[in-house]
C-alpha cells in the first residue's frame, strides 16, 4: 500500500512539472489544439496476434475538446497463455474488456504533447488450465480446472506523450498506466493468474505500457 500512496502523492508533482514545461513554451509558441473525433489502435497488441502465447487487440475512440480535455473509450480482446503460470502445466485466460476515462492535454509544441488522465476499466473473462503432480512411486496425477463468467474492474492513472507524424492527422503515441484493482473474482486453490485488459494478478497494482497510432478526423 505504501508504494501506491507514494506514487499517488508524486503524481501532482509530475503533472506540475509537465504543466510548467508546457507553460514555458507558451510564451514563445502559439499552440493550435486540433479538436474533433479521434480513432486509434494499439499497435503493440497487434504484434502479439501471430504469437502462440498471447493474442491481444485493442482499439479506441476519443474526442479532443478545445479546453484540452479529451473523453476517451477503449475496447479490447485478450487471450493470454503465459508460460510462467505453472511449471508443470498450462493456463489460459480469455475475455473482453473496456475502459473509459478522460485525459488532459499539455502541449509542448505543435508537434509534441504530453497528457495526464484517469480511467476506469472493466473485464469479463474466463480461465482454464491443468497441471500435473509427478512421482517416482505413484502414477502421474493430472488436475484440470476452469471458471466462467468472471469479472474484474480497476482504475488507471495515466501519463503519456504523443507526436504528430509527417502524415497529416496521423499521430504516434505511448502512455504509461498505473492500474489499481478495485474488485475481481477470486478462487482457491488455483486463483486467476492474468486478467484480459488488466494484466497479472500478483498484486493489487500493476504497471502497463500502451503504444498506439491515432488518426484525427
Q: What percent of the chain has pLDDT over 70?
A: 74
Work out the pLDDT band at 102, boundaries 50, 70, 90: very high
Q: What percent of the chain has pLDDT over 90?
A: 47
Reply yes or no on whether the pLDDT at 63 is more than 60: yes
Work out the pLDDT band at 92, boundaries 50, 70, 90: confident
CATH of 2-80+95-124+151-216, one of 3.90.550, 1.10.12, 2.40.50, 2.40.160: 2.40.160
Reply yes or no on whether the pLDDT at 18 is more than 80: no
Reply yes or no on whether the pLDDT at 43 is more than 80: yes
The winner for highest mean pLDDT among 32-46, 78-92, 120-134 is 32-46
Mean pLDDT of all residues belonging to the chain: 81
Alpha helices in 37-176 (DSSP H): 43-46
Question: Mean pLDDT across the stretch 162-184?
Answer: 93
Angstrom distance (rounded) from CA 90 to CA 146 = 12
Strands (E), the chain: 36-42, 54-64, 69-80, 89-107, 112-133, 141-164, 170-184, 194-195, 199-200, 205-216
Question: Mean pLDDT across the stretch 163-172?
Answer: 93
Residue boundaries of the structural domains of the chain: 2-80+95-124+151-216
Angstrom distance (rounded) from CA 92 to CA 20 = 45
Supply the pLDDT for residue 40.
92
In this prediction the pTM is: 0.79
Amino acid at each position: 500500500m505504501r508504494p501506491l500512496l507514494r506514487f499517488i502523492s508524486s503524481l501532482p508533482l509530475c503533472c506540475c512539472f509537465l504543466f510548467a514545461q508546457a507553460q514555458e513554451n507558451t510564451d514563445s509558441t502559439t499552440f493550435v489544439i486540433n479538436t474533433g473525433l479521434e480513432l486509434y489502435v494499439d499497435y503493440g497488441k497487434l504484434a502479439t496476434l501471430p504469437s502462440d502465447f498471447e493474442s491481444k487487440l485493442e482499439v479506441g475512440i476519443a474526442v479532443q475538446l478545445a479546453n484540452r480535455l479529451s473523453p476517451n473509450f477503449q475496447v479490447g480482446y485478450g487471450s493470454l497463455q503465459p508460460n510462467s503460470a505453472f511449471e508443470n502445466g498450462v493456463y489460459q485466460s480469455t475475455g473482453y474488456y473496456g475502459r473509459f476515462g478522460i485525459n488532459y492535454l499539455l502541449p509542448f509544441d505543435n508537434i509534441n504533447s504530453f497528457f495526464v488522465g484517469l480511467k476506469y476499466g472493466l473485464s469479463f473473462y474466463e480461465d482454464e488450465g491443468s497441471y500435473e503432480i509427478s512421482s517416482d512411486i505413484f502414477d502421474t496425477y493430472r488436475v484440470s480446472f476452469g471458471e466462467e463468467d468472471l469479472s474484474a474492474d480497476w482504475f488507471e492513472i495515466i501519463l503519456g506523450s504523443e507526436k504528430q507524424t509527417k502524415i497529416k492527422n496521423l499521430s504516434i503515441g505511448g502512455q504509461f498506466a498505473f492500474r489499481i484493482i478495485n474488485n475481481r473474482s477470486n478462487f482457491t486453490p488455483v486463483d486467476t493468474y492474468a486478467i484480459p485488459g488488466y494484466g497479472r494478478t500478483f498484486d493489487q497494482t500493476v504497471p502497463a505500457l500502451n503504444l498506439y497510432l491515432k488518426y484525427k478526423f
